[in-house]
């Protein structure tokens, strides 16, 4: 069963999409927010990206979790009972490694995935409860990026329990550094002494490897990028010709980020019906659709320390488990 979004939730999303598209396409340079990628088709395209030979992120993170899930959960539990909360859980595919380790450690575990997609959460709950004995899933539909500077609501703090908040997949890479810092502070404010945080980030590496990961030979990332335009055509009655825009991925060394753009192949005018808006493009003009920040060694640790965590790096890799000082 897939949980359909309630009409009220669907309408809120429509309004959020309209506002973001109007703002982004009237800005100079033009931009669209990366969260717009994830409609149904976009989520499937992203799943396909994670299996591409060039997209090293998912494979690398799965490797780290496979090697260290037992160590990570034991360290986070520190002898107490562990409860796992995951931000932006999506399909929760890699989290299964942690849940398995937690059930091996303590027999049973409570798992609270948080995501904006009710249908993704429901599918994850069904699959996890069926496949991993001992896991009780209580999904929460919430936009964890919402809420200016306030404490992140992480569900009940239960006496004698420690929470491990999991934020993996390099999702934090989509945030500007100051936004990332703010999110970490909000997570910290939602935790108590002794709780833990597991963060998966991608590090800067050789440019060729980065570019290949965001411009794969099979063209899946290009389709993922252009799907934005397909989505605007469907949801906002826009008249984009997706092939009239080139997929473009570039490495911005100064900002340490991969950027994705959709570059107009010609001078053109595109009408967006639902917004009563006509957007003009010069030949070669682009819409900036994503930033994916790649951290430098030491940067995440510094960000975490500033947010009030004390850290332990796992295996010198991209995974960081840290605790709240008690
Ligand atoms: C889901 C944000 C981690 O930045 O690598 C994949 C999204 N964009 N290919 C990333 C993405 C293009 C991805 N994150």
**pLDDT of residue 80 exceeding 80:** yes
Tell me if 174 CB under 6 Å of ligand 1: yes
CA 142-146-147 angle, to 5 degrees, is: 115
Tell me if 200 CB under 6 Å of ligand 1: no
- Which pLDDT belongs to residue 151? 84
Select from 292, 295, 318 the residue to mutate for testing ligand 1; criterion: most ligand atoms less than 8 Å from CB.
292
Confidence bin at 130 (pLDDT 50/70/90)? very high
Confidence bin at 237 (pLDDT 50/70/90)? very high
Tell me if 290 CB under 6 Å of ligand 1: yes
**pLDDT of residue 73 exceeding 60:** yes
Q: Whose CA is nearest to atom 9 of ligand 1?
A: 214
- Which pLDDT belongs to residue 156? 74
Q: How far apart are CA 289 and CA 29, in angstroms?
A: 11
**pLDDT of residue 323 exceeding 70:** no
Tell me if 201 CB under 6 Å of ligand 1: no
Mean pLDDT over 80-105 rounds to 93
- Distance (angstroms) between ligand 1 centre and the Cα of 170 equals 8
Mean pLDDT over 112-123 rounds to 89
- Which pLDDT belongs to residue 154? 82
**pLDDT of residue 26 exceeding 70:** yes
**pLDDT of residue 1 exceeding 70:** no
**pLDDT of residue 2 exceeding 80:** no
- Distance (angstroms) between ligand 1 centre and the Cα of 53 equals 15
Q: Which of 35, 3, 5, 2 is nearest to 20 (CA)?
A: 35
Tell me if 221 CB under 6 Å of ligand 1: yes
The average confidence (pLDDT) of the chain is: 90
Tell me if 220 CB under 6 Å of ligand 1: no
CA 57 to ligand 1: nearest atom: 5
**pLDDT of residue 325 exceeding 80:** no
- Distance (angstroms) between ligand 1 centre and the Cα of 169 equals 8
- Which pLDDT belongs to residue 145? 84
Phi, psi of 180 (to 5 degrees): -60, -45
- Which pLDDT belongs to residue 93? 85
Q: Are 191 and 310 in contact (CB under 8 A)?
A: no
pLDDT digits (tens, 9 = 90+) for 276-311: 999 999 999 999 999 999 999 889 889 999 998 887
Kindly report each contact of residues 24-27 with a partner whose C-beta sits within 8 Å and lies 24 or more positions away, as own/partner.
24/287, 25/272, 25/277, 25/279, 25/287, 26/277, 26/279
pLDDT digits (tens, 9 = 90+) for 168-200: 999 999 999 999 999 999 999 999 888 999 999
Mean pLDDT over 146-170 rounds to 84
Q: Whose CA is nearest to atom 1 of ligand 1?
A: 171
Q: How far apart are CA 238 and CA 143, in angstroms?
A: 26
CA distances from 153 to 66, 142, 238, 240 (A): 29, 10, 37, 39
- Distance (angstroms) between ligand 1 centre and the Cα of 292 equals 7
Comparison of pLDDT for 57 and 5, the residue scoring more: 57
- The three-class DSSP label of residue 259 is strand
Pairing of strands 245-252, 196-200: unpaired
Tell me if 95 CB under 6 Å of ligand 1: no
Tell me if 49 CB under 6 Å of ligand 1: yes
Looking at the chain, the whole-number percentage of residues with pLDDT higher than 70 is 92
Helix or strand holding residue 262 (H, E)? strand 257-264
CA 258 to ligand 1: nearest atom: 4
Alpha-helical (H) ranges within the chain are 7-26, 40-49, 56-77, 95-106, 118-131, 177-189, 207-214, 220-236, 299-307
- Which pLDDT belongs to residue 326? 55
Mean pLDDT over 262-286 rounds to 98
Confidence bin at 19 (pLDDT 50/70/90)? very high
Tell me if 172 CB under 6 Å of ligand 1: no
Q: Whose CA is nearest to atom 2 of ligand 1?
A: 171
Comparison of pLDDT for 1 and 54, the residue scoring more: 54
Helix or strand holding residue 286 (H, E)? strand 286-293
**pLDDT of residue 318 exceeding 50:** no
Peptide bond between residue 29 and the one before it cis (omega within 30 degrees of 0) = yes
Q: Are 284 and 263 in contact (CB under 8 A)?
A: yes
**pLDDT of residue 3 exceeding 60:** no
């Amino acid at each position: 069963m897939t949980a359909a979004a309630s009409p009220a939730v669907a309408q809120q999303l429509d309004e959020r999409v309209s506002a973001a598209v109007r703002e982004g396409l009237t800005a100079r340079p033009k931009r669209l927010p990366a969260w717009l990628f994830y409609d149904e088709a976009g989520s499937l395209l992203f799943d396909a990206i994670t299996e591409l030979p060039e997209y090293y992120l998912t494979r690398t993170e799965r490797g780290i979790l496979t090697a260290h899930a037992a160590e990570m959960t034991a360290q986070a539990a520190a002898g107490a009972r562990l409860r796992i909360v995951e931000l932006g859980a999506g399909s929760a595919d890699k989290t299964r490694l942690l849940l398995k380790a937690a059930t091996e450690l303590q027999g049973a575990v409570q798992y609270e995935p948080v995501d904006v997609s009710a249908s993704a959460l429901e599918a994850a709950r069904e699959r996890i409860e069926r496949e991993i004995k001992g896991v009780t899933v209580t999904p929460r539909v919430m936009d964890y990026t919402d809420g200016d500077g306030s404490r992140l609501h992480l569900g009940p703090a239960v006496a004698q329990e420690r929470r491990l908040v999991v934020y993996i997949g390099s999702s934090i890479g989509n945030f500007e550094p100051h936004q990332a810092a703010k999110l970490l502070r909000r997570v910290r404010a939602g935790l108590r002494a002794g709780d833990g945080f597991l963060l998966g980030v991608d590090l800067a590496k050789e440019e060729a490897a980065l570019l290949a990961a965001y411009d794969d030979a099979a063209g899946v990332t290009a389709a993922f990028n252009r799907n934005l335009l397909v989505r605007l055509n469907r949801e906002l009655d826009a008249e984009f010709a997706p092939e009239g825009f080139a997929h473009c991925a570039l490495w911005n060394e100064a900002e340490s980020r991969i950027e994705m753009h959709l570059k107009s192949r010609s001078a053109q005018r595109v009408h967006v019906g639902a917004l009563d808006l006509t957007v003009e493009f010069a030949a070669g003009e682009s819409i900036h659709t994503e930033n994916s920040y790649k951290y430098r060694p030491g940067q995440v640790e510094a960000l975490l320390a500033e947010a009030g965590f004390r850290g332990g790096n796992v295996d010198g890799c991209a995974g960081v488990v840290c605790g709240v000082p008690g």
